[in-house]
Amino acid sequence: MNDPTNRWFAETLHGSYEQRLEISDILYRSKSGLQDIIIFETPFFGKVLALDGIVQTTERDEACYHEMLAHVPILAHGDVREALIIGGGDGGALREVLRHGSVDRATMVEIDHTVVDICLEHMPGLSDGAFHDPRFDLVIADGVKFVKETAHKFDLIIVDSTDPIGPSVQLFSDEFYTDCRNILTDDGIVVCQSGVSFVQEEEARGTLSRLTKIYADAALYVTQVPTYSFGFMTLGWGANSNRARSTDDATIRSRFEKASFATKYYTPEIHAACFALPAYMRY
Ligand code: SAM
């Protein structure tokens, strides 16, 4: 944030572009030792969380990201009982996972407790009570270490990380995704945030080639998050079998209707379409 008047938050994710959000109030700002954290109020997007100068989530458009991260794998799989979230300290992905009655347990491995604490305090609507759900376990640790050492098995792993800078770097590695594969069940699925492919092509391309090497079924799918500038937000998909992604549209629809909760972005139609990629993403 380089505005001396402190009226604008400027995000320069790519050399020659800058996105600015007007600040109506700064609610929290500090360097937690791991990452620079700020939460601020804006006139249009509501409250915003940024880490190391990059917008992570805003109250107004976070559902476009968290719903697609959670409901696409859970409704495709059909029987997710044990879910693991790496990162996701704001609680948005956790909230969406726990909306599914089939989920018995959701474990979050978040490296920075400060993110959980301040999002609970300043942006409680994001987790919307999920942190107090009896099915929830919080582990404050490095996700890289956790997946290497845990004896548990999971049906779904959601890697809801920051971009590959700072503590997230090792979450974009073959070793990490190989360790994830080894703790997934036979039909288990891992999904991960993989940047805005129009300006972070290497991140998206790297994710697809990594997942293709390690999983029986690998793909990219997309969503659209207005404050993730420059087009499609790319999500990576890796699965130990092709079963989930071959679930037919009618089954996805009936599972969604049976789950019976309202969404702001996810629909069965968007689920069917989200693996269709533009030509510039045919890596
Ligand atoms: N839900 C957010 C969004 O909408 O974009 C995603 C960002 S979430 C705040 C990213 C989280 O990943 C941060 O809280 C950060 O502390 C955490 N993180 C980064 N590296 C990590 C690691 N190696 N292990 C566990 N958590 C990590």
pLDDT, averaged per 10 consecutive residues of the chain (283 residues), comes to: 74 84 96 88 97 95 98 98 98 98 97 96 97 98 98 98 88 97 97 94 95 98 95 96 97 97 98 97 93
pLDDT at 166: 82
CATH code: domain of residue 160? 3.40.50.150
For residues 201 and 195, the answer to whether their CB atoms sit within 8 Å is no
For residues 159 and 73, the answer to whether their CB atoms sit within 8 Å is no
Residue-wise pLDDT tens digits, 62-85: 999 999 999 999 999 999 999 999
Q: Which atom of ligand 1 is nearest to the CA of 168?
A: 20
Do residues 196 and 77 both lie within one domain? yes
Do residues 247 and 161 both lie within one domain? yes
Do residues 131 and 236 both lie within one domain? yes
Instruction: Give the pair of three-digit tokens for residue 18.
Output: 């800058």
**Who lines ligand 1 at CB under 6 A?**
51, 56-57, 62, 65, 86-90, 92-93, 109-112, 115, 142-144, 160-162, 167-168, 171
Domain that holds residue 98: 62-281
pLDDT at 227: 96
- Catalytic positions, written as ranges: 160
Maximum distance among all alpha carbons in the chain? 55
pLDDT at 32: 65
Extended beta strands in 44-112, E state: 46-51, 54-58, 82-87, 105-110
pLDDT at 4: 59
How many domains, the chain?
Answer: 2
Judge whether 1 lies within some domain.
no
**This prediction's pTM:** 0.96
